[in-house]
Amino acid sequence: MVSLSALDEEKRDVLSQYQSITQTKDLDEALGQLIEHDWNLEKAIQNVYENNPKDTREELEEEVASSTATRGITPTYPATTVHNTFRSSHQARQSRFNFLSILFWPFGIAWNITWSILSLASRIIYRPTITNKPRDPRVLAFEFIESFETKYGENHVEFFKGGYSQALEKARKELRFMLVILQSDDHDDTQEFSRETLTSPQVIDFIKEKNILVWGGNVRESEAHKVSYALQATTYPFIALIALQTSLGNATPKMTVIERIEGPSHPAEFISQIEIAIDRQGAVVNRLKNERSQRDMERQLLKDQDAAYHQSLRADQEKARLAQEEKEALARIEEQAQDELRQIELYKEKRTQYIQYLYANLPEEPTEGRIAKLSFRLAGGDRIIRKFKHDDTVDTLYRFVEVFPLLQQENVKHVDVPPSDYVHQYKFTIHSPYPRMEYEPDTQTHLCDIKSLWPSATLVVEAVDEDEDEDDE
């Protein structure tokens, strides 16, 4: 089972209210009920009402004696606040009827005793709908408002459209004053109070100005009937003003009855009495509001600081990511450049090997037979005369010019097999000076078949400019 130390402040408050309302002293049982209903106080209390009906007179009297107001209300009993409430109105009457009051006070006492006995007896004998299956509090709220508007019109104080416990919880969370208005069709004063006070423009404006949450119900219905017992109502219409208050020995504030009005009251009297109670207890509510505002500000500050920290963290992470991407991009560029250099070096190596292969396979200069005698002016300015066989091709001329630098060297490496995956390109052209005629590296046509080259000719070797740039690199 969960321990109290593991509960936060809000859950401890819900637990305290549940035990106060249901009079459950077993801590494990209370925790079990609340955990089962996911800490929904209204559902947990409703479950107790549904599963534990109290139909006998002894149980009813025990409920009246021990009950607190639903969801943690601490009711103010008639011996205190009720006495103070009626004392002011009785003083005015006593000033005018002092003599008659003294004369007839025995009859008044007898009538009060008789009325109390009859009221209690009627409650015990007639419990309308309380023993039936409980109805949805929201449905009851809408039916009460609809019935009220049918009788007294649509201009009235705004009633909360929900159950009593829902209204109580809303007022607690929003730190609002709450008015509970209970009516009974058996009391003649109900119609007068509803028609004159609850529909009064002054009262409607006052309720709006003070932002008071109003919940109303008819005691013939189960929920309002239970509320009447919890609040110790004896006369109707009954009005209770409830607010969040703190008490000695209990640090957790609870919804407490701070003013009671039993019986009818005219708009001016109603407003005055409620306003005095609000002024009297408003300091506590304002203090709780300030404390909550301070907590909200602190939470918001922590939230803003946390958001700023995470934003800064995300910015740093983004910078680190961009720096890493830039580093990786530079590494790829460097690797690509190195790869290109390796490809260039490999190409140059294969080109050198191929020229060495051409050198090893160059036909020797003929000395007899049908011979073509050709004069070359090389790109470097040197002139050389070379003899070729009649069946040599133009490609033979290109091979000779390509390997000519090697012919001037000693100990040239011989390569018998050309390098693989290599296509040789001559970086020069051979042409006749006049008329200019360029000769492509042809391997099919023999020299004797080319009139401009047979039996002799002067040829110019011209380097290709773009290839010269590549050689410089």
Please write the tens of the pLDDT for every residue from 142-198. 999 999 999 999 999 999 999 999 999 999 888 899 999 999 988 888 899 999 999
pLDDT of 396: 95
pLDDT digits (tens, 9 = 90+) for 341-381: 999 999 999 999 999 999 999 989 999 999 999 999 998 88
pLDDT of 64: 35
pLDDT digits (tens, 9 = 90+) for 197-206: 999 999 999 9
Mean pLDDT of 80-108: 46
CA distance 348 to 342: 10
* pLDDT level of residue 1 (50, 70, 90 thresholds): low
Tokens of 114: 């008789």
pLDDT digits (tens, 9 = 90+) for 25-75: 778 788 888 888 888 887 788 777 666 544 433 443 344 333 333 434 444
* pLDDT level of residue 298 (50, 70, 90 thresholds): confident
In the predicted model, is pLDDT for residue 313 greater than 90? yes
Mean pLDDT of 265-294: 85
pLDDT digits (tens, 9 = 90+) for 214-247: 999 999 998 999 999 999 898 999 999 998 887 6
Query: Of 2-6, 189-193, 342-346, 395-399, which range is least confident?
Result: 2-6
In the predicted model, is pLDDT for residue 266 greater than 80? yes
Mean of all residue pLDDT scores within the chain: 81
In the predicted model, is pLDDT for residue 325 greater than 70? yes
Q: What percent of the chain has pLDDT over 70?
A: 78
pLDDT of 65: 38
Single-letter amino acid, residue 297: M
pLDDT of 91: 43
pLDDT of 131: 42
pLDDT of 188: 83
Q: At the topology level of CATH, where does 361-472 sit?
A: Ubiquitin-like (UB roll) (3.10.20)
Mean pLDDT of 393-403: 95
pLDDT of 317: 94
pTM: 0.43
